[in-house]
Chain A
Amino acid sequence: MAASLAPECNEIKEKYDTCFLKWYSEKYLRGNTSSNECEELFSKYKACLSKTLKEKGIDTMLDDVRKGNKELDAEFLKR
């Protein structure tokens, strides 16, 4: 799995990615789209990452790009 931008988050990221990939291939692709059991690991990973995103100013760049991306959801979150 690829590394994290924040080296201190690599360990929790690895755990989360492994959990997600297992869920994705064994459950999600087989039609069980209701739950995601990796939520707890993901919260920890996000908490770890958020510090670096702030420090490097990436969080404000993300806010900007998200504003310009709203039409994507309208187009792709439907069938």
Chain B
Amino acid sequence: MKVFSSACTFNYSWEEVSTANWRKYCPWNDKSTHVVGVDTLSRTIDSRTGILRTERLITCSQSVPQWVSSLFGGDATSHVYEVSYVDPVSKKVTMSSSNLTWSNVLNVRETVIYKPSVSNPASITDFNQEAKITALCGGWQKIKNKVEEASVERFSQNAIRGREGFEAVLEMSRRVFSEQRELNKEKLQI
């Protein structure tokens, strides 16, 4: 097993980040073009805690490096299952994703947490990401290591692109929301 982890902060409130997170993979994000579909499968609110639980299916066009797919076969489309929990009281978003495609060869389990930063909870949000990558193909340890290394490499590239893309979504969301507020204000004055 190999572990990839990263952390960063976004200069936006937790409310803005958790809202924009739902459309992280929209056309405003031109960096995560490997994501071609995002479908919501289920959504429930826990009556006791108010925690919002969502299941989504993420469809990607790029799955694994060419040499891996030529080893194991398969097409270029892959699916990821994501379950997320939003706790509006303690202000925490937890997302856990695992791969559906290739799951007999490779297990990738990613956990992402968004919460208000301790230093400036009103306007900065902490982002923590951890991925555990395990190659399951039986036999040669050498091949397993190679598969895990290639996956970590691909994962870290996508993580950087994902962050850049999400910054663009956050910026656009703030702009659109403030324009909407201005419009509403004008309407009220008329």
Name A residues whose Cβ lies closer than 8 Å to a Cβ of B: 1-6, 9, 13, 16-17, 20-21, 24-25, 28-29, 31, 33-34, 36, 42, 45-46, 49, 53, 58, 61-62, 64-66, 68-69, 72-73, 76-79
Contact = CB atoms under 8 A, between A and B. Distances in A.
Given A4-B39, A62-B41, A69-B83, 13 more contacts: A1-B23, A1-B26, A1-B38, A20-B22, A21-B19, A31-B88, A33-B88, A53-B57, A61-B79, A76-B94, A79-B49, A79-B87, A79-B89
B37 interface: yes
Q: How large is the interface on B (under 10, 10 to 19, 20 to 34, 35 or more residues)?
A: 35 or more
B16 to A, nearest CB: 9
B85 A76 contact: yes
B15 interface: yes
Interface SS of chain B: helix, strand, loop or mixed? strand
A78 B51 CA distance: 8
Contact of A33 (B39, B45, B53, B101): B45
